[in-house]
Amino acid sequence: MTGAASDRLIVALDLSSRAEAEAVVTELGDAVSWYKIGYQLGFAGGLPLVSELSRMGKKVFLDLKLLDIANTVEKGVESIVSLGAAMTTVHAYPQTMRAAAKAAAGTDLVVLGVTVLTSFDAADVREAGYAAAPADLVLQRARQAAEAGIGGVVSSAEEAESVRAVLPAGMALVTPGIRPAGTQAGDQKRVMTPADALRAGATHLVVGRPIVAAPDRRAAAGAILAEIAPLA
């Protein structure tokens, strides 16, 4: 396990209590540097963990996917900065991304625009009212994210190679829906293995259930880190 590899892996604390999340962090110890906190844990008393994990030297991806009027998004991102999060998400609408970029300017917070959720396929996108195919919508939103001046985007690893091609150097490309070979896809529809996602251009990989639900979480994380170490 190399330091570079651990900088690429984000473990999703998709759990329903702070105690469960703390147990995972304790078990993983120094093997993992990054954690994601989303709705499930955040609304179950987990938001204070953002600051606490940061004080422990961990990096936190606060995944709340903000979408509101520009002023509300701006003030929300300012509050996220005060928590000490390293990354956060907004939906990739131009007005929303511009407001988030304004609030994060001059700070270390990386704002990510969520392009198309990895649980969506072409039928889901059509049902939501978009005529474009998922891959085309992802590229459109990636270009708009770059224009808005935010720090990166979230996309399926399936689109990572094409997204990387339109993003300026230095922009983060975070890919959820990562599933090691032989594991269940669950409710994700556009998935990829860790090594393949990095080869496609991802900078960070979000992995939840394959680690958090594993009988030996540290071993599961170690296997992924070993897989990506040559590519990190």
CB atoms within 10 A of CB 197: 30
Is 36 a known active-site residue?
no
Catalytic option among 36, 58, 59, 65: 65
CB atoms within 10 A of CB 105: 11
CA 121 vs. chain centroid, Å, equals 19
The secondary element (H helix, E strand) that includes residue 66 is strand 59-66
Give the C-alpha distances (Å, rounded to integers) separating 107 from 44, 85, 87, 92: 27, 11, 11, 20
CA 211 vs. chain centroid, Å, equals 15
Task: Map residue 42 onto helix, strand or coil.
Answer: helix
Query: Are residues 53 and 25 in contact, defined by beta-carbon separation less than 8 angstroms?
Result: yes
Question: Which are the catalytic amino acids?
Answer: 65
